[in-house]
Structure 1
Amino acid sequence: MINVQEIRKDFPILSRSVNGKPLVYFDNAATSQTPNQVVDVIVDYYHNYNANIHRGVHSLSQEATDKYEAARIKIQQHFNAAKSHEIIFTSGTTHGINLVANGFSALLEKGDEIIVSALEHHSNIVPWQMLCERTGAVLKVIPMTEEGTLDMVTFEAVLSEKTKLVFCNHVSNALGTINPIETIIEKAHAVGAAVLIDGAQASPHIKADVQALDVDFYVVSAHKMCGPTGAGMLYGKEAWLQKLPPYQGGGEMIAEVTFEKTTYADLPHKFEAGTPNICGGIAFGAAIDYMNSVGFDTIATYEDELLQYATEKLSTIAGLRIYGPNDHKAAVISFNIEGIHPYDMGVILDKLGIAVRTGHHCAQPIMDFYNIPGTVRASFAFYNTKEEIDILFEGVVRAKNMLS
């Protein structure tokens, strides 16, 4: 049983006012809030052991290195990677995807095929388009359905021996759809293709086990799961990471440098050029500790209650349409009211202290599918309450009356 009021005490921002109203924060799919326990770790780093890592023999450098590498092990254990060096620290999900896409530039040939789903964030579309432009590979798409799910029949039809890579998000950021990634991974592997899963939206709700999934690459952003911005991770199977060339050149990622030739460091440093976001990596580990202290099963159960409550409540509003109305969803509701632009709705809700996201959510193909300019997206976290959903409901009704 979750004690929401106690948890909310860990997030001082939830007690502030916006436009003279108590803040109702429903933009968690964009960025979750950060608890005191993680903020304290950030402050402790800069107050007590701020130093560069791996290169120094002095005590501060060694302390920072130890804590940074301990965070890597926390992330390895959380996602159940087989080895800690299969965890690459990145600046976030986009960085991880681009790292893999850049590496495959050396492995793909003209006529090879790669597959992406129609439910992707732009960061899991654009890098693959760029990869196709560089290599001559062909990009194919798994279509979506009116319910906001993937057309798996067409996916199987598109798969072939030419397929080298398949990309899919675990959870749609725009609709909340939980995709059948286990089936996607199994089918892709059957034709010899590698699979990258974008776990940015899943990571706050689902504790992914990368070994059980048998996924080749899995990418996550810390700021989606109570951590800092500018930090994230790429999981890659050791065999694949050994095949891929480095994404960036510089310090730390080398074994030996001469003007004639450079050799590269072992994993994970091969992909971690330059001074990393040391504090961000350590804080990412602290955020994982915090979320595990709440418990992912507890989080999932409670957020599902919030989702069902909000769905039932909002569905009573005449003219309101929820997009992606399927039963297998994370805590996201994307909706519009007939005749009202989502931006206008978002502006009025903000005046009432309610933070939602409006627009295409970096998923323009989804909006084009529904022939809409965007949606209003309310995304929930384990520190939200049903009382806040009541405030959202009243705000939507009020905005509808003002704008109709």
Structure 2
Amino acid sequence: MDIKAIKEQFPILQQEVNGHPLVYLDSSATSQKPIQVIEAVNDYYKQNNSNVHRGVHTLGSRATDQYEGAREKIREFINAGSTKEIIFNRGTTAGLNLVASSYARDNVGPDDEIVITPMEHHSNLIPWQQVAKVTGARLVYLPLQEDGSILLDDVKNIVNEKTKIVAITHVSNVLGTINPIKEIAEIAHQHQAVMVVDGAQGAPHINVDVQDIDCDFYAFSGHKMCGPTGIGVLYGKQELLENMEPIEFGGEMIDFVNLHDSTWKELPWKFEGGTPIIAGAIGLAAAIDFLQEVGQDEILAHETELAAYALEQMRTIDGIQLYGPEKRAGLVTFNLDDVHPHDTATVLDAEGIAVRAGHHCAQPLMKWLDVTATARASFYLYNTKEDIDLLVAGLLKTKEYFGNGFE
């Protein structure tokens, strides 16, 4: 990978922040966008702006071709069996809520169990809490090992005939843990449970093959994988989606409407009520083209190398706490002793270094770590070891600034 050439394709990364060249280490929150994506969205609005599926005029036909072409590109990207299994929405949160509100509430009852982990993002935790409250089902948590990983033996011991849903993140947005979702899906299916995967941190970095994984649902967001904000994808097995009811009603998703009843369009459109996120889908297709040109395997290898280098360099800092397993995705979550992570992030920002600080929408995991908040540096294909060197220098400056007594 020619990282310099890749970075030059991201206009936002060419600027200075607070008098320093921007070092962007917050891609787990949202990634930056290459010029190809920006131009694809811009060209749609300049040349083809129209609603889809409705008009027979030229602009409508062009827009529809681009929108449905994006769906096919995404199908290929995750190796889904059919475009009927690709549902466009606002993002991972919307996708997981659709599964919880449509599938789970109709298929989970009292005394049933939903298995999740303490490392889940709130988007893959709160919907299941709500399902449990409405249905009388019980949430069961897989234990975490000391490094924040999970053991398949624990999965085998906890998933049983009462389990109806297993909902687990592909990659932890805090710990960087890469969970063995293919093996977990196999265990879930042995007990006729449905496997739901939060792929927000997986799809941008890992070659995802939903048929090989054999998950039942996989949700991810465009904005974390070089695409626009406000566009996401829910993959679902066709036989499950066919039997699910939509949760949003209105235009675009209907077949026939009379005064007292209505019928729905076929998949995937019955879950896409209203004017869809057309420009977002087109931008996401351009992002996929970009990522595939670089290569998903190459991206993961680069990020893994950066994470290992970051751990090595950050361990030289006295009084730093590092969280997560040794083998991880491209992020490092940490705290400096006696320095609030918001203060750490503020000092780093003064050096032009963007990191995230807070609970990262994972408050139960913060409680498990016995902290109120952490700082997080997350890497993507445009980051370099020099970025990490600047991060380490910034952390040393943070220690000096707060005079915390470290030698």
Q: With structure 1 as the length reference, what TM-score do the two structures score?
A: 0.98
Could you tell me which residue of structure 2 aligns to residue 378 of structure 1? 377
Cα shift at 1:264: 0.9
Cα shift at 1:260: 2.1
Q: Given that residues 118 and 150 in structure 1 are in contact (C-alpha distance below 8 angstroms), is that contact kept between their aligned partners in structure 2?
A: no
Which amino acid letter does the alignment assign opposite residue 367 of structure 1?
Answer: M
Q: Distance in 2 between matches of 1:44 and 1:217?
A: 32
Which secondary structure state, in structure 2, belongs to the residue aligned with residue 106 of structure 1?
helix
Could you tell me which residue of structure 1 aligns to residue 362 of structure 2? 363
Could you tell me which residue of structure 2 aligns to residue 347 of structure 1? 346
Q: Kindly report structure 1 stretches of 4+ aligned residues shifted beyond 4 Å.
A: none
Could you tell me which residue of structure 1 aligns to residue 59 of structure 2? 60
Could you tell me which residue of structure 2 aligns to residue 257 of structure 1? 257
Q: Given that residues 25 and 379 in structure 2 are in contact (C-alpha distance below 8 angstroms), is that contact kept between their aligned partners in structure 1?
A: yes
Which secondary structure state, in structure 2, belongs to the residue aligned with residue 56 of structure 1?
coil
Residues matched between the structures, number: 402
| 2:320 is the counterpart of 1:320 | yes
Q: Distance in 1 between matches of 2:371 and 2:151?
A: 21
Q: Distance in 2 between matches of 1:110 and 1:116?
A: 17
Q: Given that residues 147 and 325 in structure 2 are in contact (C-alpha distance below 8 angstroms), is that contact kept between their aligned partners in structure 1?
A: yes
Which amino acid letter does the alignment assign opposite residue 370 of structure 1?
Answer: L
Q: Given that residues 149 and 325 in structure 2 are in contact (C-alpha distance below 8 angstroms), is that contact kept between their aligned partners in structure 1?
A: no
What stretches of structure 1 of length at least 5 have no aligned partner? none
Q: Distance in 1 between matches of 2:121 and 2:70?
A: 27
Q: Distance in 2 between matches of 1:194 and 1:299?
A: 30
| 2:128 is the counterpart of 1:153 | no
Question: Once the two structures are superposed, what CA deviation does each residue of 1:208-228 show, in whole Å capped at 9, x if it has no partner?
Answer: 100011110000100010000
Trace 1:30-45 onto structure 2 (pairs within 5 A): 30-45=29-44
| 2:8 is the counterpart of 1:9 | yes
Which secondary structure state, in structure 2, belongs to the residue aligned with residue 196 of structure 1?
strand
Trace 1:280-291 onto structure 2 (pairs within 5 A): 280-291=280-291
Q: Distance in 1 between matches of 2:298 and 2:105?
A: 42
Could you tell me which residue of structure 1 aligns to residue 178 of structure 2? 178
Q: Distance in 1 between matches of 2:240 and 2:340?
A: 45
| 2:212 is the counterpart of 1:212 | yes
Question: Once the two structures are superposed, what CA deviation does each residue of 1:308-344 show, in whole Å capped at 9, x if it has no partner?
Answer: 11111111101112101332x1101001112211111
Cα shift at 1:152: 3.5
Could you tell me which residue of structure 1 aligns to residue 133 of structure 2? 133
Question: Once the two structures are superposed, what CA deviation does each residue of 1:103-143 show, in whole Å capped at 9, x if it has no partner?
Answer: 12122222211111111000000011111111111111112
Cα shift at 1:203: 1.3
Cα shift at 1:39: 0.3
Question: Once the two structures are superposed, what CA deviation does each residue of 1:14-54 show, in whole Å capped at 9, x if it has no partner?
Answer: 11111111110000000000000000001001101100000
Q: Distance in 1 between matches of 2:140 and 2:184?
A: 14
Q: Distance in 1 between matches of 2:324 and 2:304?
A: 16
Could you tell me which residue of structure 2 aligns to residue 78 of structure 1? 77
Could you tell me which residue of structure 1 aligns to residue 391 of structure 2? 392
Could you tell me which residue of structure 1 aligns to residue 336 of structure 2? 337
Could you tell me which residue of structure 1 aligns to residue 196 of structure 2? 196
Question: Once the two structures are superposed, what CA deviation does each residue of 1:190-215 show, in whole Å capped at 9, x if it has no partner?
Answer: 00000100111011210110001111
Q: Given that residues 357 and 376 in structure 2 are in contact (C-alpha distance below 8 angstroms), is that contact kept between their aligned partners in structure 1?
A: yes
| 2:297 is the counterpart of 1:297 | yes
Cα shift at 1:151: 4.1
Which amino acid letter does the alignment assign opposite residue 358 of structure 1?
Answer: A
Could you tell me which residue of structure 2 aligns to residue 99 of structure 1? 98
The percent of aligned pairs where both chains have the same amino acid is 49
Q: Distance in 1 between matches of 2:375 and 2:276?
A: 36
Q: Distance in 1 between matches of 2:181 and 2:356?
A: 26
Q: Given that residues 171 and 179 in structure 1 are in contact (C-alpha distance below 8 angstroms), is that contact kept between their aligned partners in structure 2?
A: yes
Q: Given that residues 198 and 219 in structure 1 are in contact (C-alpha distance below 8 angstroms), is that contact kept between their aligned partners in structure 2?
A: yes
Question: Once the two structures are superposed, what CA deviation does each residue of 1:259-310 show, in whole Å capped at 9, x if it has no partner?
Answer: 1211111000110000011000111111001000011121122112211111
Which secondary structure state, in structure 1, belongs to the residue aligned with residue 107 of structure 2?
coil
Q: Distance in 2 between matches of 1:279 and 1:389?
A: 34
Q: Distance in 2 between matches of 1:164 and 1:298?
A: 36
Q: Distance in 2 between matches of 1:100 and 1:272?
A: 14
Q: Given that residues 246 and 271 in structure 2 are in contact (C-alpha distance below 8 angstroms), is that contact kept between their aligned partners in structure 1?
A: yes
Which secondary structure state, in structure 2, belongs to the residue aligned with residue 197 of structure 1?
strand
Question: Once the two structures are superposed, what CA deviation does each residue of 1:129-186 show, in whole Å capped at 9, x if it has no partner?
Answer: 1111111111111121220112433332221111110100000001111011111101
Which secondary structure state, in structure 2, belongs to the residue aligned with residue 185 of structure 1?
helix
| 2:232 is the counterpart of 1:232 | yes
Q: Given that residues 113 and 163 in structure 1 are in contact (C-alpha distance below 8 angstroms), is that contact kept between their aligned partners in structure 2?
A: yes
Q: Given that residues 142 and 152 in structure 1 are in contact (C-alpha distance below 8 angstroms), is that contact kept between their aligned partners in structure 2?
A: no
Q: Given that residues 182 and 212 in structure 2 are in contact (C-alpha distance below 8 angstroms), is that contact kept between their aligned partners in structure 1?
A: no
